[in-house]
Amino acid sequence: MNRRPLLLTQGDPSGIGPELTLKAWLQRERASLPPFAVVADPDHLGRVATALGWNVPIQVAQPSQVHAIFSRALPVLPLSAAVSARAGQPDPASAPSVIESIETAVRLVRAGEASAVVTNPIAKHVLYEAGFRHPGHTEFLAALASDGGSESWHPVMMLWSEQLAVVPVTVHIPLSDVPSALTTDLIVTTGRIVARELRERFGIAAPRLALAGLNPHAGESGSMGTEDMRVIAPAVEILRQDGIDAAGPLPADTMFHARARSRYDAALAMYHDQALIPIKTIAFDEAVNVTLGLPFVRTSPDHGTAFDIAGKGIARPDSLIAAIRLAARLGAP
């Protein structure tokens, strides 16, 4: 048994993260969840539980104590300062606690005191107002992985479910910028990382990658755009030369039905919505965001802070529960 616990981060305390964490603990036995702790303000979590009428005993703990505590109380690794957030009311004053929670979880995982990080949703616009310098969660994690050293990391976002795993090669950029941002080198780097992590973390001996075309019908031999022939096809050939089972560029509109999905282990899409539309259609409540290419395991629910329903107790914990399960699987020794 892996005796190192999973660590959940607080996320934005005004969003649904705190109540999802509480719900996950309440469903720990029915969902067969491994022991986890959350890096948060225990008093804030207690107020959330009380406001929702949930009986969740909360106990301050160290990572080594989590296994002994988990069956009877939610273990909490306390932050250095109190959190005064109100549900549904995002406040830049909460930013230091959000950042401290992430930093603490990553530090403990890298020190070998925990097995993986499961991040609750954050609101980037709230962090930006407080002076946060990173484009997003993933970039911040990559910076923490480097820890001021010379080694740099290329994080890759995978959306994973039992039915489908997809990777957007370009992520949070305007659609108009995708053709210029998409390069053969970027596709090859992404494909290599995905193949490696499917082997090393997911235990797939010979990963099969399917690469989507950028244009309709994968460019129709150049009549609907040349990027598929000029940029994507050479990347597929390089990946094949590396010994990776890569296919493409394939017409994206025929890649995601059940029979097509049986022919690959992960699909590489060329832009954000090309990847996220199919997985959110197929596995909206169960999909997990997995960051590949880092020296530690990080998963996250595939949804946002949902400020509009925070504090109402109606948010579904399915994706967080799936993220906890996958983190335990990937973080196992």
Q: Which residues are annotated as a binding site for a divalent metal cation?
A: 172, 217, 272
Q: Which of 214, 236, 237, 235 is nearest to 226 (CA)?
A: 214
Binding site residues for substrate, as ranges? 137-138, 280, 289, 298
CA distances from 221 to 215, 217, 253 (A): 10, 9, 16
Binding site residues, as ranges? 137-138, 172, 217, 272, 280, 289, 298
E strand spans, the chain: 6-9, 36-40, 58-60, 74-78, 116-118, 156-160, 165-168, 208-212, 245-250, 266-269, 288-292, 298-301
Query: In whole angstroms, what is the distance from residue 188 CA to residue 150 CA?
Result: 23
Query: In whole angstroms, what is the distance from residue 20 CA to residue 29 CA?
Result: 15
Query: How is residue 126 written in tokens?
Result: 């709230």
Provide the 10 A C-beta neighbour count for residue 288.
25
Instruction: Say if CB 167 and CB 268 are below 8 A apart.
Output: yes
Positive or negative, the CA dihedral 147, 153, 157, 161 is negative
Positive or negative, the CA dihedral 331, 156, 280, 249 is negative
What lies within 8 Å, CB to CB, of 293 at 6+ separation is 153, 154, 155, 156, 193, 197
Query: How is residue 266 written in tokens?
Result: 């992960």
